[in-house]
Structure formats: structure tokens, C-alpha cells
Amino acid sequence: MSSQPQPAITWREDVLPSDVAGIERLTTDSGFFRPDEVAIAAELADERLAKGPASGYHFIFAQQGGDTLGYACYGPIACTLHSWDLFWIAVRNDLRGQGLGGQIMALVEQRVAFAGGERLYVETSSRPLYRPTRHFYQSRGYNMLAVLEDFYAPGDAKMIYAKTLPVMNRR
């Protein structure tokens, strides 16, 4: 029996009302985020729906058919000239390690650079669960800049990484 070819991955940047529940599902199913963190991830999509680009939150969604495979939320950091933050990135569990997260990051970096961003910052946990996440960032050229001990909880440091992006555009 031959298997049917999978539809191509499509990319979109607009946020749809259905994305709020999709983000909640994706972040919950990942096993990485506490319920309060899941709520915040969904809240950023709500904020984008309510305020549009003025929210400061930008999104990239990877889809196949009607399924969201992964997404990222990012935006400029207030009171800086060229610094941006990656707020969230998540890929469906069964697709981890297959390159989709790297594709999403590459698109985020491209969009940020095109918007005049010079540096993209990411933050993650020091917990052992996040070891693959830290490797993911490091393998894409992100350098660890700081460790804030006991930031998230006792024994759970905030690790801050950054990458300098190529100059593509200046506003």
C-alpha cells in the first residue's frame, strides 16, 4: 500500500481567532510550559487580534492542511532601537528534531532583520528539560549572555541568549 504524499507546509503571519486555542494546545502538549505560561502564550495572540500590528507581537505559523505544526511569536523590545525578542516558539511533539523549528527560527530572523532588527534575544530555563532547547539556540548561532539564578523558581535560572543578525534594512 503506498502512502499519500503530505501536503506542503504553508506559512502565514496573520493571526486567526482559532489560533488562540491552537497555541494553547500546542504549548500544553509540549510538556514544557506551566498552565500560567500557556495562558500568556495564548494572551499574546489575543492581543494581536485586538490591536493588530500596534500590539508589537508578530507571529509565524507553519501549517499543513488545516493543522498548525509549529509557531513563533516575536517582537521589538520597547525602549530599544534595534533589539527584538523571541517570546515563544513551539513545534508539535511528533515533529521535533526534524528541522521545522529551525525553519521557523530562520523565518523569524529574516523578518526581524528586514524590519531593521540587529539583535534577537531569546530566554529559556536552566532546568534539564530545556537542555535540547538550549542546544537548539546554540546550534543556530545564539550566544549565552547571562544567567539569572533562581529567576523562575529556586534552582531554575533564566538563561539569556542573543544573535546578531545581518543588516537587511534600516527604517
Determine, yes or no, domain membership for 58: yes
> What would the mean pLDDT of 157-163 be, rounded to a whole number?
97
The helix (run of H) or strand (run of E) holding residue 30 is helix 17-30
Count structural domains, the chain.
1
Determine, yes or no, domain membership for 14: yes
Q: Which pLDDT value is given to residue 167?
A: 78
Determine, yes or no, domain membership for 47: yes
Determine, yes or no, domain membership for 4: no
Segment 62-121, tens digit of pLDDT: 998 888 999 999 999 999 999 999 999 999 988 888 889 999 999 999 999 999 999 999
Segment 35-66, tens digit of pLDDT: 999 999 999 999 999 999 999 999 999 998 88
Q: Which domain holds residue 103?
A: 10-164
What pTM value is reported for the model? 0.90
* DSSP one-letter code for 148: E
Strands 83-91 and 67-76 turn out to be: antiparallel
Determine, yes or no, domain membership for 37: yes
Which CATH number goes with the domain that contains 108?
Answer: 3.40.630.30
Residue 82 CA to residue 97 CA, distance in Å, equals 31
Helix segments in 31-157, DSSP class H:
35-51, 100-114, 131-139
Determine, yes or no, domain membership for 127: yes
